[in-house]
Structure 1
């Protein structure tokens, strides 16, 4: 900071006249507070994160679409689920999918019968923590006391069984050192089936007694699970520690949806590579529990249909997508892909988005048109200053900017709003272009070994940072005149090549 005084907080508001340099400005911790001039879009983005809705951002390039999407991911909690691919010994080309929840494997979930807590023996429901042993009321197993009579329910140590059947079950469920984790509440129980006693295991799979909360495994199911768990090789498909923001802009079909690698030995049991090891996740799977962002959404073309299916089902199978590959015979069904989708496009491309995809976003999300300008007010001028400070910090190679240089950039922001958008008393929000001006000014400053970006540096950068079209207009008067001159020069050059006898005393381009 240039002086030992309090930093200017953009969230609380300040005026440009209060700062000496952009070093005086506090950069907000919340990335959504760094988005400039898009208050409505930021509000909808926060709602989308809170309610897990999808979002379509429409606007001109450089107004903050990708920044909003990245900021949304910042607000999401850390992922809780890890996805594994497990070998299927009976049918290797149909590997299993396992989901770990906070280190706990959801293994063999299709084995056994799923019941609500009121459909299991009362004493088992008590031991699992669903049922009050005094009044019999059912409630969440997370609640320590009964909501009706206040009696303390069965605790962790009370229901923890010492039966050898439990040990067997745990061994079958967690026989790999790679799968250490918290074990579900499990109660072994002997019941009569067709007049015979049978060992049955009840496993809590949900804390709500009114949901599919208990899995019942009889002896045949336990044997099936034992066979399933015997030496089951596996690999992590989507790790627990991962980013919550995934950008899939320009992704190919295999990158977006996943694939199965080719095995040159054709799945030979001795020479080939096991199918489960060749399964590759798509970006829709890697975005599970996070944000999947796709800019220029219409460029996906027919892949929009697959994206729609993934958004709708929150699961999408992985199969080999090259019909000439050995991986084409491998398929993994129902791989989780529960993500928040954020799509973005320009106004002119909006009509190219498939109507069913638009309908899906509208039915479970929001469509937002981003601003291209904001009113020229003292508050918004301070937001431009905030943007300058953020760009300096983000770049990391250019010095901070003086107040006078910031004011010069604000003038340029006003000029661009007039020229590009035809709005007076407004400031442009095409901030990516302004960011280029700031970096140019910083580079010019470093060339002169100045400690700060001064007004003169900013003025020079504004003159240099012109689009090529404006440079052509400045040089030739108009774009059309430049084209005419280029065509004439090109024709003259070809004549000199084809008819050199007419240009004996001239050089090729002279």
Structure 2
């Protein structure tokens, strides 16, 4: 489908042209009349027509002719000429503009709407201004969209050049509910004011906009929320956009609430997800169907919006809980750490996280990589050294270009070897033909044997015969093609070679079978994390030498790759410094911090943040909501257990309170709590129930005791039995000696004496 020819209409007066579909890019119109000297550059015919104001029928005829033109090259040129036919000043110009505004052809009305803005903003008498203002208001409800957008540009021009008069006229219009098109034009006219930098003027315009929404009963100003506030204002002034949207959401008018729902755009969500979540929850409680439809549209534009909303209070199972898609929104109980991670990802700062296992350190590090944009990722390519073979060259190219570099090198090698391949191929073909000829004519097997041997010899010789200029093929060390976010590399427990890079051993080092040195080079974790995040947990496992090398890498942002395996042939190879510009995130406990290199920790404190993660969180409605979402997240992450009933979720929340050791707090060691969720789900799966119930959670507690608890329980069991036995003895003593019944002689068997036993033997 071809483009609309009207889209090519230029911004002839510096305002909005018909091709500008996004009004947020609308600049303040500066429609200045070209000087006569500049007009002469258009040709003698243009000067003659410009001065001949008596040719009013010609002006109208040109407008009528352009009404049916849709060619992308002819229409812009025609509209520019139509504007130049209007006289440059005087009463005749005002009269022609008023008449153009009433013509039946849209190009005439379009030109009038564009030029009236300049005249209205000029210093005119009140009666003259009233006439032009009335003509502009009449065009605000024009059936042609381009004419309505030209009216918006004129409104913006008036607001910029004469704000007092604009406020006065706009107040008069709001006193009587304005027409639909006028409200729409006023909304679009506010967009250029967002970039003016005048705080008072901006707030006044937004106040007028809010008043217009209060009198709007038809929804004609639908761009107010999604366009003005959700896009343009959210990009330039997010605080003001949130304040205005919250004011609209708190109103009792469904129309204004509808605009607040339309303002929930991805741009607003990225600025402050928590604030956007509260807005969504506030609007979700509204019953107006238009507001609910607008919310569904907002979820389509920003799917993460629904996942940030509070879970419904009347949920029955965890299947009713919306789940976030981003890792940073899945972190539970670490609100301060989340804010620091957001800031560090934006500013590319180092982070040292200290906390107990299971508090979310690795998830925060992965979320940091997810928050960093993948706008300038690089591929790393290693090539043969130019000065020495044992010094390969590592260079960075834009992401996706590494494969192109390899393809170009292969093409050059194929071209260089094409001649030799042709000669050897011709020789093998000749040997086969000759061998076949003698085989058929002489009927001798010797000819076949000679032919086979000749082909084998030629194949072996081909391996040792190279072109005069041998073209090496580079090796792609790091490939980042198609990656949508910054890379995340978990280097926990890596040895020096895996962390800093290594060179493989070559068992065939001579005889023509050796591997080129640059093909033996392997990238380390610091190079794989280039333009991304390098995460190292349990930092104390790094040796002092590795920490020193890591410090050099983060200081220089480049680090050479050399062989690190003793006795390997790779120890002789050392590449040029390879790029390794990464954001380092370290994690551990306080014992790990004590074993860190002092210079490495000083680098983090000087160029990043140190975080001590929370172990508990207070018992509040918000934290209870987070735990509900945690249970739903664990079920979705496992994928094999059924959903939880509400009472089962409440049992998990109670267990979180008990594990915190405080009556008014919850534990944040959620990895162990997730084990209880999975154990309860396993019991429900064995029972064959569709949902996990509270009894499954209670039974799962017995299956999830730690080893220490099990040992302590078993050691206490004999002690309890001993105490019980002692209690029974004391009770017997208190009751007195027991009376035994007399035994008969037939019931007693006396043992035989040894003497009698011997007699028997």
2:711 to 472, 492, 502: 472
Tell me whether 1:237 sits opposite 2:470 in the alignment. no
Tell me whether 1:55 sits opposite 2:351 in the alignment. yes
Shift of 1:87: 1.2
Corresponding residue number in structure 2 for 1:484: none
Q: Which has the higher contact order (CA 8 A, sep 6+)?
A: 1
Corresponding residue number in structure 2 for 1:401: 644
1:290 to 517, 521, 532: 532
Tell me whether 1:378 sits opposite 2:624 in the alignment. no
Q: Which has the higher strand share?
A: 1
Give the conservation status (yes or no) of the 8 Å contact 1:60–1:347: no
Question: Distance in 2 between the 1:344 and 1:255 partners?
Answer: 19
Shift of 1:350: 2.0
Give the conservation status (yes or no) of the 8 Å contact 2:353–2:610: yes
The TM-score with structure 1 as length reference comes to: 0.66
Q: 1:102 to 1:256 in 2, by over 3 A?
A: closer
Q: Deviations over 1:243-291 (max 9, x none)?
A: 711101000111111111111233x372211100000111111111111
Question: Distance in 2 between the 1:357 and 1:74 partners?
Answer: 25
1:41 to 315, 328, 337: 337
Question: Distance in 2 between the 1:240 and 1:14 partners?
Answer: 37
Work out the number of aligned pairs and report it: 357
Tell me whether 1:329 sits opposite 2:572 in the alignment. yes
Question: Distance in 2 between the 1:276 and 1:433 partners?
Answer: 47
Shift of 1:325: 1.3
Question: Distance in 2 between the 1:178 and 1:294 partners?
Answer: 41
Corresponding residue number in structure 1 for 2:583: 340
Corresponding residue number in structure 2 for 1:75: 371
Q: If you compute each CA radius of gyration, which structure gives the higher value, 1 or 2?
A: 2
Corresponding residue number in structure 2 for 1:168: none
Shift of 1:322: 2.2
Give the conservation status (yes or no) of the 8 Å contact 2:308–2:324: yes
Shift of 1:177: 5.8
The TM-score with structure 2 as length reference comes to: 0.45
Shift of 1:77: 2.5
Corresponding residue number in structure 2 for 1:416: 659
Question: Distance in 1 between the 2:600 and 2:411 partners?
Answer: 39
Q: Deviations over 1:203-232 (max 9, x none)?
A: xxxxxxxxxxxxxxxxxxxxxxxxxx9724
Shift of 1:334: 1.0
Give the conservation status (yes or no) of the 8 Å contact 1:257–1:318: yes
- Matched position secondary structure for 1:18: coil
Q: 1:276 to 1:9 in 2, by over 3 A?
A: same
Give the conservation status (yes or no) of the 8 Å contact 1:14–1:379: no
Shift of 1:304: 1.4
Give the conservation status (yes or no) of the 8 Å contact 1:295–1:344: yes
Question: Distance in 2 between the 1:369 and 1:66 partners?
Answer: 14
Q: 1:426 to 1:312 in 2, by over 3 A?
A: same
Corresponding residue number in structure 1 for 2:328: 32
Q: Which has the higher helix share?
A: 2
Give the conservation status (yes or no) of the 8 Å contact 2:311–2:322: no
RMSD: 2.8
Give the conservation status (yes or no) of the 8 Å contact 2:311–2:629: no
Give the conservation status (yes or no) of the 8 Å contact 1:469–1:479: no
Q: Deviations over 1:167-216 (max 9, x none)?
A: xxxxx99953689xxxxxxxxxxxxxxxxxxxxxxxxxxxxxxxxxxxxx
Give the conservation status (yes or no) of the 8 Å contact 1:245–1:290: yes
Q: 1:332 to 1:269 in 2, by over 3 A?
A: farther
Pairing of 1:28-177 with structure 2 (within 5 A) = 28-78=324-374, 80-88=377-385, 90-103=387-400, 176=409
Give the conservation status (yes or no) of the 8 Å contact 2:395–2:579: no
